Amino acid sequence: MRSYTITEIWDIPIRINTSLLIFLPILAWLIGSGQQIELYAGIIEQFTGTGFDLARLRAGSTPWLIGVVAAVGLFVSVTVHELGHSWVALRYGLDIESITLWILGGLAALTTFPKEWDREFWIAIAGPLSSLLVAGGCYAGALALPESLPVARFVFGWLAVTNVVLAGFNLLPAFPMDGGRVLRALLARSYPYGTATRIAARIGVGFAFLFAIVGVLNFQIVLLLLAFFIYGAATTESKTVLLDELLDGLTVGDIATHDPATVAATTTVEAFGTRMLRDRQPIHLVTDDDAPVGIVTLADLKAAPRGDHSAITVREIMREVPRVDPAADAFDTLVQLRGADGPTAIVERDGALVGVLSEADYAHAMMVQRGFRTGVGG
């Protein structure tokens, strides 16, 4: 689903995902209908010592006003939670791409996540601490507001309770939630970063299954969505860290193909198909007057327009790809090039061709690294 930038804070784009725009009216209806108002009025009364006239809270359109203001207030609270993460990350000199609010809360997207356990710990714990600060402020507001403003007092009390729950829920050790990242940070004090990630990810997957079971038994759609999110994010993070470990210390120049097969841009698709069958090279560098202009692969050949392939040239089916320096970090380049076309690039140093980079190069490098480490460990 698409996300829309609504503002910037500390030069960080604040975005709202379409899923949130759909969910907010539903959340407002859930808060303002049924027994929710009576339930939370009782909870708020217990810790403020001041009761509510339930008839006034239920009169006319008041429940819907409460629902809308509380729902918006919740996602303002979530924004503060993510800004807590971001503030600490900025103090460590890290960049934040954006903060996105969506159906399951918020997500502060850091360009890189620190491997130092203490930095990850403080970045992760800053979110729940921010939620507790918001809860404290809302609690003070609920105490200070007079009984003549029951709607405002109810909303402040509701936000105080909800932010405490938000902080506690986020501290569950279900990676990649905040508690899972805190767990990984603490594990990283005694274990290698990769091992700490795999332990935290396994625990996260366990929580994902638990949430899924509870969600199915209680017909809680949000819990099911959360279970899918945690499972996907935990397994992805574990694989990403494994890739980072395998590619540690390698540059693009170390893994690139330095003598790639080439084909002239003016070559017909028919002739190119015959050549690819003969030389069995899955990727070719496309040249024009000996200058590299793009890449063509077997997938591009298969996607060629139907018709007379003797009248279609390689230039028409090739892809223009990024140019990267051979000294660039192999893992960082993989992250930058991720997308539908895969990690494919032309490798150049000061305009001079060095080679080509493809998914096959990464696969070969990781296979060699894995075999080398297994051999050394054995």
Q: Quote the tokens at residue 38.
A: 């009576």
H-state helical runs in 92-220: 117-144, 150-170, 178-187, 193-217
d(CA 17, CA 110): 17
Question: Nearest 10 degrees: CA dihedral of 326, 331, 337, 338?
Answer: 160
- 150, 52 in Cβ contact below 8 A? yes
Q: Which residues are catalytic?
A: 82
Q: 3-class SS at 100?
A: strand
User: Other C-beta atoms within 10 Å of 257: how many?
Assistant: 18
234 in Cβ contact with 176 (< 8 Å): yes
Region for 328 from its dihedrals, namely left if φ exceeds 0, alpha if ψ lies in -120 to 50, beta otherwise: beta
Residue 201's nearest CA partner among 183, 188, 225 is 183
